[in-house]
Amino acid sequence: MALNPSRRPPRRLLAAGLGLLAVLVLVLVAGRDLLASGAVRGLSPAGRDLVTGGFLVVATVLAVLATRALVAAAFGRTAGTPAATWRTAATWCAYVLLGLVIVAQLRLDLSGLLVGSAVIGVVLGVGAQTSLGNLFAGAVLLVARPFSVGAWVHLRTYLFGGFSGSDFSGTIVHIGSFHTVMSVGGRAVHIPNSAILMAALTTGPIPVQVDLDVALRADAPLADIESRLALGLGLQPPASVALRPQRVSLSGDPEVSCRLQVAALRPVDVRQVVRLLAEAAAAAAPPASPE
């Protein structure tokens, strides 16, 4: 049963999550009673382990699916907002909580696992050093919050690109357990959390891609020209177009000198801006009065 949070409405996800939780409770109750019955106790150790393992697998699958559905229902409409940052933390907390419930209800004996935990910990620590580093870095980013989802970030890291390092500039789309996703030039770039934690970060407003001084008619409707430019460039918030008057010339035909700034997440072609500005100014000009 695959749950795709991007395609299912929150109500269906909530209903699916609650239904899976109900099934999980029934499985745990049935498993606890069955494991305590004489029929299972009379089996060989291998048979008891097989039955216990079967209930454990079923309960784990149900817990994972229920967690995914409930978290997706709770955070489905927070994409691109600061609240989406807590989605990963909520998911892991739910996993840990349901794991403890499963262990307690099935009355699993973890003493054998605890005896060999030191050796297993060393082996896993060496083999999964990179993954664990990214996991802990993600937890640090979640607590420290140097940026949030939707923020524009420029980072320079020396974990890639040798001595020269690598630069990434874009908008934070998602902060996950192991990777942070940035939108860089319209492409989704997955950067390990450990690289971000060790990078030089610069956060701020949307960068200005075009900065020009232009001259318009003194009676030019600046707001209308800004709207036409944004529409022609295909810009959506938080990108913006701003025409800021600087000075007015009354000699000859009255003109107003403006500072044109286009703030966008992607590079903007200056020639396209100049062409669209001329078209917008011409379209917004008042019709000539008959002599």
* pLDDT tens digits along 180-204: 888 876 788 888 888 888 888 877 7
**For residues 149 and 219, what is the distance between their CA atoms, to the nearest angstrom?**
41
Stretch 236-255: mean pLDDT:
84
Q: What's the whole-number average pLDDT of the chain? A: 77
pLDDT of residue 229: 92
Name the percent of the chain lying above pLDDT 70: 78
Range of weakest confidence among 3-17, 92-106, 179-193: 3-17
Phi–psi pair at 143, nearest 5 degrees: -85, -45
Residue 6 has pLDDT above 60, yes or no: no
Q: How much is the pTM?
A: 0.47
Dist. CA 39–CA 274, nearest whole Å: 83
pLDDT of residue 121: 56
Segment 202-226 shows an average pLDDT of 85
Residue 170: name the closest of 146, 186, 159, 156 by CA. 186
Q: 198, 170, 160: which is closest to 266 by C-alpha?
A: 170
